[in-house]
Amino acid sequence: MTREHEARRYAGIVDRLSSRDRDEKLLAIVALGILRVPGHADQLVDLLSSPDEEIVGSVIDALGKIGNPRSVKYVLEFVGAGRAGLADRALNALSGFELTPVLDQILRAADEDKPPLLRRRLLSLVSHIRDPRVAATMTEIMGQTQDPGLLVESAMYFVRYPSTERHLLLKMLGNNGQWEVAMAAQLALSRLGDEGARSHLKRLAKSPAHPIRMALVQGLSRRPMIEDRELYEIFCHDPHPQVRIAAIAGLPLFKADERARILAEWLGRERDETVQPVLLRTAAAETYHGLYPEFFRLLSSAVPAHRELAVQALVGMGESIIDRIVKSFPKLPMAAREQLLLVAGGIGGETAKKLVREHLGDKERWMRINAMEAMARLGAREALPLLMEMAGREKDPWVKASLLSVLSRLGGTDQIPVCEAGLESSDARVRANAVEALAKLGVRDRDHQKRIEPMLRDPNDRVRVNAAIALSKMGDQTVMPTLIAMAKEPTKWLRSSAAFALGAIGDREGVPTLIALLDDREDVVYRNALEALGKIADIRSLIPILQEKAKDRLPADFFAAILSKFSHQAKQP
């Protein structure tokens, strides 16, 4: 993108920086922060001289999001400048920069004339950087200051980056009267192989005070060592859930079979609802067949997320478990068999295909549906004749809708007549999937367009949306005008379908219509319009979305998800 092209692209926002309207100016500042274009930082810096503290604070926030290293010196001017609110925002903004190129500036700002808390916050920003200048600053602090916070920060730097040259200093700090300081020093010494320090840490791991145990496990995770395994096993059994969660970081220190043993035992006893999800995700990532029993039990869980995680974990174990699945399959409860068909589809291989094929005609609805889904995952095109024959005689609309979806995913053209027949179904699910299937199969001729066009007025909103998307893929030039007109219909379901379809198609021609729908009183239309604008991420819609965010009509996290799309879009030509 040329500089002239970029200037034109963002002119609608950048020009607002000089507006006399305060709210417009604030919106532009926030918008530029979201877009994260490095060149905009220079234009924002000029506003730091504003007498309006909220404008200055917003500029600082935006500079932190953009992260242009040239802005660091301007942000640092507000650190410790006497205005507490701006100083705090400046420190938060600095965390958004890559600070290695401007390391000297940060270290100068953290000199001994600054208050200890401010120095500590500045040093924490560079504590992850392995550099002799940082190490020298931390060493100087250990030898000169008495402030506990600074001593902890400096000692913890040498936990992450052990240094035999600091052994004596750390020994002295290990006897400090503040437990936080002494612990940080003992952690650093243990990274150097100091057995006395390691014995001290084992005593602290049994402390009745949970803040001490929490600080210890977090400190170990700065630089875990094989020798820490005993401590991590202790923390896996800790009575406090947050300590147990922190202990998960130490599991990679164990061999695969040891991890499986620890995780299996832990999954069996864990009852805390905050720990369980983290533990399950960790175990699922192992792909170790020794955890089969634990995840097999989860297949029958009442929690859908647990069932999905179990399928993912078992698929990851691969063909090593497929014979086990086949052997036990007939004796298992229905809920487990339904999920194991999906597992077989994910694993693949001839044994898995045979198991899945045997259940395509099962009398139970979800056994048939999952068997068909497994066929799609297997890419088993040899099953097409059977699947098409099933579609002709299937009476259950849920199963038939699933069949059409599977047929389209397997690719080809032989199944097009079967999918066309689904357009005449009395069931909306079947009609919607039939339209979607024809689009996926790549039909483009005018005859098919004529069959799908009436679906734009179907009584079901999903059918309407799928029809619009399908026609767009077929190159129908009338779709956009039709959807734009539909967005003005008195029926809210037509307007909401139009908004959804415009977002799915992604044509920027629909942006003005979607912006107009932000005035719609119906929540379903309003939400669909916002989500569609997020999918398209056209710069023209950024300010209107920010204006809607200020109205609090929907939760802040909803808007955060939409606005996050714009920083990625700004990178596109």
Q: Quick one: pLDDT at residue 571? A: 47
Domain check: are 405 and 353 in the same one? no
Cα–Cα dist 112/114, whole Å: 5
Determine, yes or no, domain membership for 388: yes
Q: Which of 361, 379, 397 is the last residue of a domain?
A: 379
- Is residue 357 assigned to a domain? yes
Q: Are residues 458 and 499 in the same domain?
A: no
State residue 3's pLDDT score.
Answer: 60
pLDDT score for 441: 87
Long-range CB contacts (< 8 A, 24+ apart) of 369-374? 369/398, 369/399, 369/402, 370/338, 370/339, 370/341, 370/342, 371/341, 372/399, 372/402, 372/403, 372/406, 373/341, 373/342, 373/345, 373/402, 373/406, 374/341, 374/342, 374/344, 374/345, 374/346
Angle, helices 492-505/523-536, rounded to nearest 10 degrees: 10
Structural domain contains residue 567? yes
Whether residues 563 and 527 share a domain: the answer is yes
Handedness of CA 81, 82, 86, 90 (dihedral sign): positive
Residues 6+ apart with CB under 8 A from 288: 256, 257, 259, 260, 317
Q: How many whole angstroms separate alpha carbon 170 and alpha carbon 371?
A: 63
Dihedral, 210, 215, 220, 222 alpha carbons, nearest 10: 150
d(CA 484, CA 482): 6
> Going residue by residue through the chain (573 aa), what tens digit of pLDDT does each one get?
556 666 678 988 999 999 999 999 999 999 999 999 999 999 999 999 999 999 999 999 999 999 999 999 999 999 977 677 899 999 999 999 999 999 999 999 999 988 999 999 999 999 999 999 999 999 999 998 999 999 999 999 999 999 999 999 999 999 999 999 999 999 999 999 999 999 999 999 999 999 999 999 999 999 999 999 999 999 999 999 999 999 999 999 999 889 989 999 999 899 999 999 999 999 999 888 888 998 998 898 888 988 999 999 999 999 999 999 999 999 999 999 999 999 999 999 999 999 999 999 999 999 999 999 999 999 988 889 999 999 888 899 999 999 999 999 998 888 999 999 999 999 999 999 999 999 888 877 777 788 898 998 899 989 999 999 999 988 888 899 999 999 999 999 999 999 999 999 999 999 999 999 999 999 999 999 999 999 999 999 999 999 999 999 999 999 999 999 998 555 444
Same structural domain for residues 423 and 507? Answer: no
Same domain? 337 vs 403: no
Confirm whether 161 is domain-assigned. no
Question: Residue 365 and residue 362: Cα distance in Å, rounded?
Answer: 7
Q: Is residue 531 part of a domain?
A: yes
Q: Residue 445: which region, alpha, beta or left (left: phi > 0; alpha: psi -120 to 50)? A: beta
In the chain, what is the greatest distance between 2 CA atoms, to the nearest angstrom?
86
Asked whether residue 16 is assigned to any structural domain, the reply reads no
Range of the domain at 416: 380-476
427 and 462, same domain (yes or no): yes
**Is residue 399 located within the same domain as residue 358?**
no
CB 448 within 8 A of CB 434: no
Same-domain status, 414 and 367:
no
CB 390 within 8 A of CB 420: no
CATH number for position 309: 1.25.10.10
Of 327, 360, 379, which closes a domain? Answer: 379
Provide the CA 460 distance to its chain's centre, in angstroms: 32
Query: 136: which residues sit within 8 A by CB, 6+ positions away?
Result: none
Kindly state whether residues 403 and 413 are assigned to the same domain: yes
Can you give the pLDDT at residue 568?
58
Which of these three, 363, 379, 395, is where a domain ends?
A: 379
Q: Say if residues 375 and 406 touch (Cβ distance below 8 Å).
A: yes
| Phi, psi (deg, nearest 5) at residue 268 | -70, -30
In a domain, 122, yes or no: no
Would you tell me how many other CB atoms lie within 10 Å of the CB of residue 519?
11
Tell me whether residue 497 is in a domain. yes
Cβ pair 408, 437 in contact under 8 A: yes
Q: Identify whether residues 365 and 385 lie together within a single domain.
A: no
Q: How many domains does the chain have?
A: 3
pTM: 0.84
